Amino acid sequence: HHPEASPSLVTGVQNLLSCMINPNGMDQLDGSIMGTSVFESGIVERLDNLFTQDATYLADSACMMANANMLDNLMAGGLTENLVNLEVENCLLSAMSNNPNDLELATACAMTIGRLKGGSGAGG
């Protein structure tokens, strides 16, 4: 079984998206607009589906670190609710269970999940 795209390519795509939407380098409003554009393009949902369907990506810690980073950047752009609705935390939890010895990844995923839970309007 060959994955749809190599994990390193998918990692690169996520890093690119993070660079595009990272509000640190630009006006917060621009980051928000860019984040919304990225989200509405459907790429985030496609990546999430890809990870859910193929554990090759979940087991690749660099790919999952890039995923957590990209989600953090999207939340910084104001898209927390969209990500909660997409149920991206399932992917983060799977990433943690697929890399049980990777403390750095576990920490990154846990922090991202914390931001997802803290930032959504609906309590839980």
pLDDT at 124 over 60: no
pLDDT value at residue 89? 96
DSSP assigned state of 8:
H
pLDDT tens sequence across 69-117: 999 999 998 999 999 999 999 999 999 999 999 999 999 999 999 999 9
Q: Which two tokens stand for residue 54?
A: 């193929």
pLDDT at 26 over 70: no
Model pLDDT, residue 58: 97
* Helix/strand/coil (H/E/C) assignment for every residue in 21-70: HCHHHCCHHHHHHHHHHHHHCCHHHHHHHHHHHCHHHHCCHHHHHHHHHH
Residue 20 above 90 pLDDT?
no
Q: Model-level pTM greater than 0.75?
A: yes
